[in-house]
């Protein structure tokens, strides 16, 4: 823990924006250096220009690869592109547009040259492809949602964001016609082709000068904000929030939702205050995260220290919310409970939604990642719903959200989305804005805070403690962890309880989890290799208290070390 965790950043903590942008253009990656190649994780390619990991060459090559990929898939409709407030997002946007315009791709950019939340891009793609309409959208449409899967004119998108990562980082991800994160088949193809282009000469890729790219006939404006805000009424009971007078404090944390919150308040007459309207690519107003870094993680009590302070004492709000830089994550702060653990709010959201959404299918399941709390399992069973437990990655919820067979999909890292009130798809990427507004709807309808409702759930289903720790692992050990089989685990007990399951594939879709999960009746742990650091992550939960959790964590490390031969 850093000694200044939770304290406002100092000048020495801030990046030099001019130097970072200069590095974007000046540094050229070595295509044979694994640390300088294009690598797509669960949320696209990320890195810093300072480390020669996110530079002009990467974006030009990756965009050209996306152009080739979408053509190979028959995707020839508009490409919606949005960016967040990170310093590297604008130069990456410029580079991408230059390539797309030269390739003749029909591009939709923000009408006001503003910032675009990830869910607004997902919504735009889905609407362009006919989703959200039970009437259908012609040939190739899914009969329940209207989403076209085949045929000419399909839209897709690019979102330029490293999410909650520090200000020095950039991020670039591709969303295909289903509107959600691309699957590994697509990202592997794009990354492989991009790295080939880096080797063969990325400077030879055709580009239009930015001014010409902006003026090209294929480049048109799209009002992401107005479209998103107007459609919110179909996914949330905003009139209920307004009529109850719930006082909301919304903190964009300097991210892409900064203009959206004010527009939402005005359109629906909500008692909502934008707590911090500042946009600063250095994020000088942020409080430091646990490790002393500036990180817009709205699930971290340290990054959210300023908003937590506003909710202490005689707080002017009934509920306060935060979003990360691209608004795909949510943080919920209540007057009676402080910043909610993401797992706690997910359980409350599920309990509420499945009893207040009559338009959803009776068999609509509950989607969760396998490292999310088992409280969700217990709530889901009590609701009589099907649990769909998948590996880490929101892409695994996409098919179910599209056809309505999953009503809610959520991750332990405070990312989630859910269906419209009529049971059709809303977004297939995470949406931190609707989760924040859902907290207000819950208060308006139940007259209880989400924290209070969580306490009621624990009284019924038991109270758990949950934590994540990291353990060192080199590249070879991480690869071995990702390839483990149940037979590699020889232990029969975990923290004194018999092991009930050893999982390397997710129960909900039989997809490999890229690691290991071990469960007992009272606890579980999951171990996964980090994609960016020489560590593996141990997630653990116990329903028998903090001391038992610590024993679970210690046993988990021993189990994994033995399996790895460490």
Please state, in angstroms and as integers, the Cα–Cα distance from residue 537 to each residue in 255, 444, 524, following that order: 27, 38, 14
Asked if residue 566 has pLDDT above 70, the reply is no
Helix axes 118-128 and 432-446, enclosed angle (nearest 10): 100
What pLDDT, on a 0 to 100 scale, did the predictor assign at position 142?
A: 54
Q: What is the mean pLDDT of residues 165-171?
A: 97
Question: Does the active-site annotation cover 542?
Answer: no
pLDDT for the residue numbered 143: 46
Which superfamily does CATH assign the domain made up of 465-564 to? Alpha-D-phosphohexomutase, C-terminal domain (3.30.310.50)
Rounded Cα distance between 40 and 19, Å, is 25
Q: What is the mean pLDDT of residues 314-341?
A: 95
Just give the CATH number of 13-227: 3.40.120.10
Q: Tell me what pLDDT residue 475 has.
A: 83
Residue 542 has pLDDT above 90, yes or no: yes
**What is the per-residue pLDDT for 135?**
38
Give per-residue pLDDT as tens, 223-249.
999 999 999 999 999 999 999 999 999
CA-nearest of 524, 523, 207 to 515 is 524
Question: So what's the pLDDT on residue 140?
Answer: 52
Sequence-ordered alpha helix ranges (H) in 325-394: 342-353, 375-383
Please list the alpha-helical segments (H only) found in 201-288: 210-215, 224-231, 238-244, 258-268
Return all residues near 260 (Cβ < 8 A) that are at least 6 apart.
Answer: 117, 120, 225, 228, 229, 252, 327, 433
The answer to whether 522 and 496 are in contact (CB under 8 A) is no
Q: Taking the CB of residue 104, how many other CB atoms lie within 10 A of it? A: 13
pLDDT in tens, 86-128: 999 999 999 999 999 999 999 999 999 999 999 999 999 999 9
- Please pick, among 48, 122, 163, 374, the residue that the annotation labels catalytic: 163
For residue 389, pLDDT beyond 70: yes
What secondary structure does DSSP assign to 265-292, as a single string? HHHHT--EEES-----TT-TTPBP-TTS
Residue 402 has pLDDT above 80, yes or no: yes
Residue (of 227, 212, 213, 251) closest to 116 by Cα position? 227
Element (H or E) spanning 418, and its range? strand 415-418
Asked if 343 contacts 373 with a C-beta cutoff of 8 angstroms, the reply is yes
The region, left, alpha or beta by phi > 0 then psi within -120 to 50, assigned to residue 160 is beta
Q: Please list, in sequence order, all residues whose beta carbon lies within 8 angstroms of the beta carbon of residue 491, skipping any fewer than 6 positions away.
A: 499, 518, 555, 558, 559, 562
Query: Is 138's pLDDT higher than 60?
Result: no
pTM to 2 decimal places: 0.95
Q: What percent of the chain has pLDDT over 90?
A: 87
* Nearest partner of 454 among 545, 526, 378, 524, judged by Cα: 378
Question: Which helix (H) or strand (E) element contains residue 172?
Answer: strand 169-175
Residue-level pLDDT at 313: 79
The full set of domain ranges for the chain reads 13-227, 465-564
What is the per-residue pLDDT across 440-478, written as a single tens digit (0 to 9) for each? 999 999 999 999 999 999 999 999 999 988 888 888 888
**pLDDT tens digit sequence for 140-151:** 555 456 787 777
Q: Is the pLDDT of residue 210 over 50?
A: yes
The predicted structure's pLDDT at residue 322: 98
Which pLDDT score, from 0 to 100, does residue 484 have? 87
Q: For residue range 342-368, what is the model confidence (pLDDT) as tens digits?
A: 999 999 999 999 999 999 999 999 999
Residue 136, pLDDT > 50, answer no
Report the share of the chain in percent with pLDDT over 70: 97
Per-residue pLDDT at 296: 97
């Amino acid at each position: 823990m850093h000694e200044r965790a939770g304290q406002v950043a100092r000048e020495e903590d801030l990046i030099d924006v001019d130097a970072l942008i200069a590095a974007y253009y000046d540094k050229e990656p070595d295509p044979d250096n694994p640390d300088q190649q294009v690598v797509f994780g669960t949320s696209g390619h990320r890195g810093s220009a300072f480390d020669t990991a996110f530079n002009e060459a990467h974006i030009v090559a990756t965009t050209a690869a996306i152009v080739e990929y979408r053509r190979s898939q028959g995707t020839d409709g508009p490409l919606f592109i949005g960016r967040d407030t990170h310093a590297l997002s604008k130069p990456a946007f410029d580079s991408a547009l230059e390539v797309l315009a030269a390739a003749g791709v029909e591009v939709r950019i923000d009408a006001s040259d503003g910032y675009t939340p990830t869910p607004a891009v997902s919504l735009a793609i889905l609407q362009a492809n006919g989703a959200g309409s039970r009437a259908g959208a012609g040939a190739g449409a899914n009969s329940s949602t209207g989403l076209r899967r085949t045929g000419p004119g399909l839209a897709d998108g690019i979102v330029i964001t490293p999410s909650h990562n520090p200000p020095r980082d950039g991020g670039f991800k591709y969303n295909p016609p289903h509107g959600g994160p691309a699957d590994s088949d697509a990202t592997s193809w794009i990354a492989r082709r991009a790295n080939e282009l880096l080797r063969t000469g990325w400077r030879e890729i055709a580009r239009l000068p930015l001014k010409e790219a902006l003026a090209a006939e294929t480049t048109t404006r799209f009002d992401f904000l107005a479209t998103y805000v107007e459609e919110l009424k179909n996914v949330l009971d905003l009139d209920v929030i307004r009529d109850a007078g719930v006082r909301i404090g919304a903190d964009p944390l300097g991210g892409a939702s900064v203009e959206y919150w004010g527009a939402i308040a005005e359109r629906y007459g909500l008692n909502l205050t934008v707590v911090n309207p500042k946009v600063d690519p250095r994020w000088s107003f942020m409080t430091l995260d646990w490790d002393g870094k500036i990180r817009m993680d709205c699930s971290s009590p340290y990054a959210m220290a300023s908003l937590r302070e506003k909710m202490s004492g005689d707080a002017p709000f009934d509920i306060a919310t935060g979003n990360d830089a691209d608004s795909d994550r949510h943080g919920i702060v209540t007057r009676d409970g402080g910043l909610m653990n993401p797992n706690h709010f997910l359980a409350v959201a599920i309990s509420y939604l499945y009893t207040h959404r009559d338009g959803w299918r009776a068999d609509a399941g509950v989607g969760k990642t396998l490292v999310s709390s088992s409280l969700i399992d217990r709530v889901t069973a009590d609701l009589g719903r099907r649990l769909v437990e998948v590996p880490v990655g929101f892409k695994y919820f996409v098919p179910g959200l599209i056809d309505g067979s999953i009503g809610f999909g959520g991750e332990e890292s405070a990312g989630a989305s859910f269906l419209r009130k009529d049971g059709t798809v809303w977004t297939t990427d995470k949406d931190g804005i609707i989760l924040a507004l859902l907290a207000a709807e819950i208060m308006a309808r139940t007259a209880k805070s989400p924290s209070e409702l969580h306490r009621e759930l624990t009284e019924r289903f038991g109270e758990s403690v949950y934590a994540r720790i990291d353990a060192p692992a080199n590249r070879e050990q991480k690869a071995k962890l990702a390839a483990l089989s149940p037979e590699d685990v020889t232990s029969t007990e975990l923290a004194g309880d018999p092991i009930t399951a050893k999982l390397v594939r997710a129960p909900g879709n039989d997809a490999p989890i890229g690691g290991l999960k071990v469960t007992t009746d009272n606890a579980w742990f999951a171990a996964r290799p980090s994609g960016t650091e020489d560590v593996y992550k141990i997630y653990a939960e116990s329903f028998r208290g903090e001391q038992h959790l610590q024993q679970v964590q210690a046993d988990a490390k021993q189990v994994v070390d033995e399996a790895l031969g460490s």
